[in-house]
Amino acid sequence: MPTNEHTVEQALARITAGYVFPDKVATIDEAIRARIASGAYEGLDDRALCETVTAHLQEVCPDKHLRLLWSEEPQSLEPVHDDGGEAAFLALLRKENQGIRRVEHLEGNVGLIALGRIATAAEGANAIGAAMRLVAHSSALILDLRACLGGSPEGAALWNSHFFPDDQVHLNDIYDRCSDSTRQFWTSAHLPGPRYADGRPVYVLTSENTFSGGEDVAYTLQAHGRAVVVGATTRGGAHPTARHPVAEHVLVTVPTARSINPVTGTNWEGVGVVPDIAVPADRALEEALKVALER
């Protein structure tokens, strides 16, 4: 069994190799190695180790995606099995209905779609299309992202594509450190469901828990003036990540890329998505429905 020191050193190696801001790597490495030398991680179980190292990482580099995670399921430490967490994420999406928690028809012919995750475009397309077909004839739509914990950039682009008329809208860019390249995301020409793009209002609900891919959807629709964001400021994590096992029950999440919105020139990292209508998250649905019905 690897020692805690070994586990943390393996995590540092992954951060050094892949973190999207290489100029910050030396500072991170120095700070965490000082903690190792002081004995800060001795005697901790895996859960406590993850919590403690994450807190120390956040002190020196407040990137909410940079962290150690405890995994209940044991992880293979064989390099050939390390896919950056993709297989585990796909399995989670299948278990969670491709991230779609519910679809409802509310009073006043207002549609509601609630998401817990943003599925990949490839595997989630059928479910996303089915949800959009169920709200196709509504007069307004509420997209509830208050419990959305993140997901796929491609999936976020697919969800967003449904709210624009064609394939001519530049949604987002993602710079990847490893390839030193920038990928552009545009609206899709062909969609699995009907477009919701004829001027009908869209309201996006957010909370302090909305994160990563959920923030991508909210931020992009808001930046393009396509949706009104209602609720609380989100957590503020804009960096796509890879997950690597560094011990049987410990993963390090390394942000390897960063989003660049073509409208704002920046992203929501550290600041979150700020709502257009600020209300406590538990009142966001009530407020959005009220505004929709008044409109």
Closest CA to 163 of 111, 103, 208: 111
How much is the pLDDT for 2? 73
On whether the CB atoms of residues 171 and 116 are closer than 8 A, the answer is: no
Mean local confidence (pLDDT), 50-71: 95
Structure tokens that stand for 267 in this block = 């992203």
Region of poorest pLDDT, from 79-88, 184-193, 285-294: 79-88
Q: What is the pLDDT of residue 78?
A: 82
Phi, psi of 20, deg, nearest 5? -65, -20
What pTM was computed for the model?
A: 0.89
DSSP E strand boundaries for 51-153? 67-70, 100-106, 110-115, 140-144
Strand partners, 231: 206, 278
Phi and psi (nearest 5°) for 243? Answer: -115, 130
Q: Is 293 helix (H, G, I), strand (E, B) or coil?
A: helix
Taking the chain, what is the end-to-end CA distance rounded to the nearest angstrom? 62
- Say whether pLDDT at 7 is over 80: yes
Dig out the tokens for 158 from the structure: 């697919």
Does residue 20 contact residue 258 with C-beta atoms inside 8 Å? yes
Order of strands, edge to edge, in the sheet holding 277-278?
Answer: 100-106, 110-115, 140-144, 202-206, 228-231, 277-278
Length of the chain as a residue count: 295
At 254-291, the pLDDT tens digits run 999 999 999 999 999 999 999 999 999 999 999 999 99
- Mean pLDDT over 53-81 rounds to 90
Give the domain ranges of the chain: 4-81, 96-237+272-294
CB 68, CB 252: distance < 8 Å: yes
Residue 123's pLDDT is: 94
Q: Is the pLDDT score of 191 beyond 70?
A: yes
Phi, psi dihedrals of residue 172, rounded to the nearest 5°: -165, 155
Q: Do residues 244 and 84 touch, judged by C-beta distance below 8 A?
A: yes
Comparing CA positions, the residue from 286, 285, 259, 283 lying closest to residue 273 is 259
pLDDT at 86: 86
Chain CA centroid to CA 119, Å: 10
Q: Assign domain 96-237+272-294 to its CATH superfamily.
A: 2-enoyl-CoA Hydratase; Chain A, domain 1 (3.90.226.10)
